[in-house]
A and B are shown apart, each in its own frame.
Chain A
């Protein structure tokens, strides 16, 4: 039994490109789609359908989406870049 996910969409950041809606594997043609197209920005309709593949988080150009209850995916992260990133204003 998968735990209930919550998908947070920062509406102030979102520009409404709908890439998340197009690429979400649980949205196109499913009975309980995760996203709906919405008015200005997409609407998170059924977070319970989420598989936590994090495709939407990866493709979001304005970093407006976060999927709760998950550790950040840390594969292929360059530790040297982490040091540099920690000091950039």
Chain B
């Protein structure tokens, strides 16, 4: 099988995971050919690929043309990483007008001659048809290995997902707990649920597959890097912000308004990795549309 790796606007972190595959990497390149991977090898042109893994988002016209080209030349296109699946951290760009972003990055110097930027940052499937998604920032090596194994053998590229809490090996502490708090304001007891300890943990709303490495092993609250769970994505009534606030109110014994008042940056707190996802935009309650910068304003 011919495999192509392509990055659009990205940090290359997802391709870096290929180097962490260890023994499986040899197995992969032994039985298959990597035909195009500008990050790993010197190859300028792509002719045809059976499987193309695309990471990053479409940020300007150059990226869009590149994405369209790979769609034409590849049989199966996979969105690799949270950026191309849900917009990722780059989705936060839509919190501000483009002129302000350019000014803060390049100062008052005129920005001319470069490719034209897209007006709205969106996941890859808003621009081209995508056959499968592998979210993660970056996806853990075991997950990528499992995905590549089923991709190479031609299996169906999806797995039944749950939430990070389903994989988290913790127990609930006695309530109420102090909070709401962040990691800079104290650390949780090892082996105890961080959300019930008063931390902003997005485990209940995030897709599993990472093995709950951060909350379970390191004591770091989940930021939602694997993107929204199936329930959040599918149900129009699911409200990421509301559910987290409700659970924190229960854990800390405070009112919901008090919790909301202590969050100065709701978009960064609740939608750090999925602000750009169009499916989360319009909701009966919650949703990302209040945070997105209105075009033309």
Residues of the B chain whose Cβ atoms lie less than 8 Å from the Cβ of A18: 172
Question: Once the chains bind, are A77 and B235 in contact (CB under 8 Å)?
Answer: yes
B 149-165 binary contact with A (CB < 8 Å = 1; else 0) = 01000000111011101
Size of A's binding interface in residues, CB under 8 A: 25
Which of A25-33, A48-56, A60-68 sits within the interface?
Answer: A60-68
Those of B193-238 within 8 Å (CB) of chain A: 193, 195-196, 203-204, 207, 209, 227, 230-231, 233-237
- Taking chain B's interface residues, is the majority helix, strand, or loop, or is none over half, making it mixed? mixed
Q: Provided the pairs A17-B196, A84-B133, A84-B233 are in contact, do residues A78 and B207 lie with their beta carbons within 8 angstroms?
A: no
Docked Cα-Cα span, A82 to B159, in Å, equals 13
Q: Please report which residues of chain A, range 39-85, place their CB below 8 angstroms from some CB of chain B when the two chains form the complex.
A: 40, 61-64, 76-78, 80-82, 84-85
Q: Is the CB of A84 within 8 A of B279?
A: yes
Asked if residues B85 and A16 are in contact (CB atoms below 8 Å), the reply is no
Is B2's beta carbon under 8 Å from chain A? Answer: no
List 27 A–B pairs whose Cβ atoms lie within 8 Å, in order of A's numbering.
A13-B165, A13-B167, A15-B170, A15-B172, A17-B193, A17-B195, A18-B172, A22-B250, A61-B163, A61-B165, A63-B162, A78-B235, A78-B279, A80-B279, A81-B233, A81-B234, A81-B279, A84-B125, A84-B133, A84-B279, A87-B131, A88-B132, A88-B159, A88-B207, A88-B230, A89-B143, A89-B157
- Residues on B lying within 8 angstroms of A by beta carbon are 85, 125, 130-135, 143, 146-147, 150, 157-159, 161-163, 165-168, 170-172, 193, 195-196, 203-204, 207, 209, 227, 230-231, 233-237, 247, 250, 279, 284
Closest 8 CB pairs of A and B: A61-B204, A62-B165, A62-B166, A13-B166, A76-B236, A61-B165, A81-B234, A88-B133
